[in-house]
Every structure is written in C-alpha cells, then in structure tokens.
Amino acid sequence: MKSLLKCIVITLLFLSCNNEKKDTAVMEEKKPMNILFIAVDDLRPELNFYGAHHIQSPNLDKLADKSLVFNRAYCNIPVCGASRASLLTGMRPTRKRFINYSTRVDVEVPFATSLPKLLKQNGYTTISNGKNYHHNSDDSLAWDYKWFPEGNIRNYQLEKNIIENGRANLAMGGASAFENAEVDDTAYFDGEIAQKGIEDLRRLKNNKEPFFLALGFMKPHLPFNAPKKYWDLYDSNQIELPESYVQPASTPKKAFHNYGELRNYGNIPKKGTLPEDLAKELIHGYYACVSYVDAQIGLVLDELERTGLADNTIIVLWGDHGWNLGEHQLWCKHVTFETALRTPLVVKIPGKTKGEKSNSIIEYIDIYPTLCELLGLEIPETVEGKSLVPIINGQANSKDWAVCKFKDAVTLIKGDLFYTEWTDDAGVAYERMLFDHTSDPLELDNLAEKIEHQEIVVELSKELRQKWGNDFLK
C-alpha cells in the first residue's frame, strides 16, 4: 500500500512538473512581439527597392527583401517635428495642431495616448535613442529610458569645422552645408546612435518584458556630413540634376519658396538658383549620407540577428518625410509636391513578410493602429488612422486616398491625382493646383485652372473637405 501511494505521489509530481514546463512554453510562445522602430530624418524613397539604383544602401535593401514595402506611403505633413507627432499619436495635423518642427505632443495634445505610452502601459520597456520626437524631452512619460548624443541637435559637424567657422553650433554663423572628412563612423551622431542601439539589444536579450526600441537616425538631414569613405562611393561628375529642375509658370507661386533651411549655411547663396556645381555637390552629399546611415542601420540589424531577437521582433523603418533635391529648383521638404510627401516605409513581421510590395495609398497615421492590431491592443479613440493589417494579410485596401498639409496648403492624394488647395482660416480656397501622375509624374503641368478639368476640381475640392478631418478648422 505504501509502495502504491509512493508511486502515485511520484506520478503526480512528474505530471505537475510536466504541466509547469508546458505552461512555461506556452507563456514564452505567447510573449508579445518586440518592436524595433527606426526613424530616418529626411530620407527619400530613392532606394534600390523603390527602383532607384544609383544609391548604395545594401542593408536597407536586405531588410526590404524580408519585409512588406509600401510603394505609396505618405507623411501627413512634410516637416520633422509635426510629422513625428502625427505618426506617434495617429492624429491628423490641422490648421492649429502639428504645424512645424517645434511641435510638442505633450503641449498640443496632452490628452492623447501616444504609441510608446500605450506600449509602456501594456508592459513594454520603451526606449528612445536619438531623434524620435523633435524635442528629446517631449512625451517624457512614454519612455522608460531616453538617450541623445551629447551636443546641440544641429551640432553634427566636427570640432575642427566648427572652430574654423567661428565656433558655430548651429547652421548659422558660416558652417558648411556639407562635409567630407576622413573619420570613423562614430565621429557623427548616427554612429553613436547605432552603437547605443546595439548595447540596448544586448541588454534587452534577457528582458522578460517585450520592448519598443526607437532609434531616430539623423542623416541624411542637413548638413550633408558623412565620413569620406561614403563620399567616395559617388562621383559628382556622374550626377545629373533632376529632370524637373524647373518652376513652371502654370504652378502657383505659393508652391515655391527660398528654402531658408539650406540658405542658413555659410557656403550657400542667400538667394537665386544654385550654381550647378554646388547643386551637384549637395546631391553627392545627400547620397553619401544615405549610404552612411544605411551602414549604421545594418550594424543594428546584424546585432538583432546575433542576439536571436529577430525571430520575435517587428521592424518598422520609416523616413519622416521626403526631400527635394533640386526638383522644382527646391532644396527642402516644406512643400506639398510628391517629392516631399512620399516616404519610405518598410515593415518586417517575422514569419509573415517576405519581400512583398504594396501599391496601396497609405498615410503615416495608419502605422499606430496597425501595430495595435498586430499586438492585440485596443486602439485609442484619438487615433484617426486605419490599420494596414488587411494589406499585410494580402487583402485589397479599401482606402485609396491620403490627406497631407503644410501651412495653408492641403493636398488630397486620390489614385494618380494630386490636388492641392491653399485655404484660409475659414477653409476657403484662394489657390489651387492639380497634377495627374498618369501623364505628368514630375508635376509640371497644373491642370486646376484649365476649363476641361473644372468638373473634377469641384469633386476633389468637396472630397478634400470630407476627408481632412472633423476638427481640421478648429
């Protein structure tokens, strides 16, 4: 009898241990996916996987091969601070909200729950490295840890260059718009940001909680500074100015400006068209910066693989807006041409994405609800975007439009039509432009004032007001 009882106890203990192991395995299996959130400042969708083969970006290409690439992603506003605030809250810009680079989420929408704050509330370790919001102190309660390289946000240039230019910490004071220096990658901020990201991944490997690691890289933003080895990948003599290097008379003059951000630099003329050699040097510098930041992102992605975290980590790589590299004789992002609105967006989901490409029109406010649905989290009522999960699952997207704005200009993108109105505080239009990308992808022929297009202009104007958001004018 004692022997039988002993056998029963041993059996029960064995089954109990077995069940505990099974329970542990189930818990590990059900652990929420991590998120590696990579922002790249001023990055155009001018990369190999978007059909442009003149920029060397092997690491981004490799990531795209395992991701879903969105060919028609659009920022909701082409200026860094406002674009980031809009994306991270899932809220549209309005006439009075998310206007310029100095936007702060905690000031303008303190009632909103940002994406990192929602994740933190749901057990995620949230880390911000580099430039994710424009102000590093913004939305401070959303982050467990925040880190930024030492120095002013504009202080990209080497100490030698700063001293030679009157110790200018900012673009003002004579600093150059580009720099080609024989230095290591960590001489600039992005090299430091990559190394910090690598350190975090090594530490997070053994974390019991899932993580949201946001890495905000700062190139290819002005000034176009990168180590010499990246400049050596390109030859200014082989660079051509864009085909759209013109400002057509049919386009409203409101669409053009003096691109003051670039004019602040000491080696840039204060007005007028840039000399051709200088224009090509700027393009050369931009290309070098893209290759430089590509190398830094590659180091982080390699570490993600080495740590074994890649199998349970969603990667979202995005540029906060586009940038004009001479298109329409502009050097900026602060316009509503497609070159400033269209952005790179790549989403990698382990076991799901395999290099697919989507031509669906999507807005940056759609990223927030997409991650919520992928993680099984409730979407806050303030979020205005639409989840992209149906597209990820291979289904057709029922939405074929986006709305973007900059200052008075508001653009409706619908199919191949780009319709922009400049409106006053009452929402009354005082200038218009319309481009049809099926026949005019470079946006050189404004159709808005042509008699034969007045019917579609009326329709698009009405639809713009239906879709720009209920509180747009408030």
Angle at alpha carbon of residue 91, lines to 211 and 408, rounded to 5°: 140
In this prediction, residue 3 has a pLDDT band, given cuts at 50, 70 and 90, of: low
CA-to-CA distance for 376 and 389, rounded, in angstroms?
12
CA-to-CA distance for 340 and 74, rounded, in angstroms?
9
Q: Give the pLDDT mean for 159-182.
A: 62
The pLDDT assigned to 312 comes to 97
Given a contact cutoff of 8 angstroms between Cβ atoms, the answer to whether 340 and 78 are in contact is yes
The pLDDT assigned to 31 comes to 79
Beta pairing, strands 224-227 & 313-319: unpaired
The pLDDT assigned to 22 comes to 45
* pLDDT cut 70: percent of the chain above it: 89
Number of C-beta neighbours around residue 166 at 10 A: 11
Instruction: Assign domain 34-399 to a CATH class.
Output: alpha beta
CA-to-CA distance for 280 and 331, rounded, in angstroms?
12
Question: Which of 52, 84, 69 is CA-nearest to residue 287?
Answer: 52
Angle at alpha carbon of residue 455, lines to 451 and 459, rounded to 5°: 140
The pLDDT assigned to 397 comes to 79
CA-to-CA distance for 255 and 252, rounded, in angstroms?
6
Phi, psi values for residue 133, rounded to 5°: -90, 165
Is 183 a residue whose pLDDT tops 70? yes
In this prediction, residue 396 has a pLDDT band, given cuts at 50, 70 and 90, of: confident
Quickly list H helices, 149-241.
159-164, 189-204, 228-231
What count of residues does the chain have?
A: 474
The pLDDT assigned to 266 comes to 83
CA-to-CA distance for 97 and 25, rounded, in angstroms?
47
Given a contact cutoff of 8 angstroms between Cβ atoms, the answer to whether 71 and 46 are in contact is no
CA-to-CA distance for 375 and 407, rounded, in angstroms?
35
The pLDDT assigned to 7 comes to 53
Q: Which amino acid is at 393?
A: N
Catalytic-role residue among 7, 17, 53, 134: 134
Given a contact cutoff of 8 angstroms between Cβ atoms, the answer to whether 90 and 385 are in contact is yes
Q: Which of 25-34, 122-131, 173-182, 302-311 has the lowest mean pLDDT?
A: 25-34
Q: Give the pLDDT mean for 261-285.
A: 93
Angle at alpha carbon of residue 423, lines to 418 and 427, rounded to 5°: 110
The pLDDT assigned to 265 comes to 87
Q: Which amino acid is at 253?
A: K
CA-to-CA distance for 310 and 348, rounded, in angstroms?
10
Question: Which of 359, 362, 384 is CA-nearest to residue 372?
Answer: 384
In this prediction, residue 11 has a pLDDT band, given cuts at 50, 70 and 90, of: low
Quickly list H helices, 165-275.
189-204, 228-231, 260-263
Q: What residues form DSSP beta bridges with 417?
A: 414, 436
Pair of tokens at residue 52: 């442009």
Say which residue, 161 or 337, is predicted with more confidence: 337
Pair of tokens at residue 60: 């981004």
In this prediction, residue 181 has a pLDDT band, given cuts at 50, 70 and 90, of: confident
The pLDDT assigned to 176 comes to 83
Q: Give the pLDDT mean for 408-422.
A: 97
Question: Which of 183, 181, 165 is CA-nearest to residue 173?
Answer: 165
Say which residue, 28 or 403, is predicted with more confidence: 403
Q: List, for residues 197-225, the tens digit of each pLDDT value.
A: 999 999 999 999 999 999 999 999 999 99
The pLDDT assigned to 4 comes to 52
Quickly list H helices, 335-418.
338-341, 367-375, 389-392
In this prediction, residue 15 has a pLDDT band, given cuts at 50, 70 and 90, of: low
Given a contact cutoff of 8 angstroms between Cβ atoms, the answer to whether 161 and 179 are in contact is yes
In this prediction, residue 187 has a pLDDT band, given cuts at 50, 70 and 90, of: confident
In this prediction, residue 10 has a pLDDT band, given cuts at 50, 70 and 90, of: low
Global pTM value? 0.90
Catalytic-role residue among 80, 289, 332, 404: 80
CA-to-CA distance for 100 and 93, rounded, in angstroms?
10
Q: How far is CA 455 from the centre of its chain?
A: 35
CA-to-CA distance for 337 and 331, rounded, in angstroms?
12
Pair of tokens at residue 127: 């880390």
Question: Which of 41, 95, 82, 45 is CA-nearest to residue 342?
Answer: 45
Q: Give the pLDDT mean for 403-427.
A: 97
Q: What residues form DSSP beta bridges with 319?
A: 40
Q: Would you call 134 a catalytic residue per the annotation? A: yes
Q: DSSP secondary-structure letter at 96?
A: S
Average model confidence (pLDDT) across the chain = 91
Helix (H) or strand (E) holding 74: strand 68-74
Q: Give the pLDDT mean for 178-194.
A: 91
Beta pairing, strands 68-74 & 178-181: unpaired
Q: Where are the domains of the chain?
A: 34-399
Angle at alpha carbon of residue 119, lines to 318 and 317, rounded to 5°: 10
The pLDDT assigned to 162 comes to 53
Q: Give the pLDDT mean for 449-469.
A: 97
The pLDDT assigned to 16 comes to 53
387: helix, coil or strand? Answer: coil
Question: Which of 124, 143, 146 is CA-nearest to residue 210?
Answer: 124
Q: Give the pLDDT mean for 365-385.
A: 97
Strand positions, DSSP E, 417-461: 417-423, 429-436
In this prediction, residue 19 has a pLDDT band, given cuts at 50, 70 and 90, of: low
Given a contact cutoff of 8 angstroms between Cβ atoms, the answer to whether 343 and 56 are in contact is no
Q: Would you call 80 a catalytic residue per the annotation? A: yes
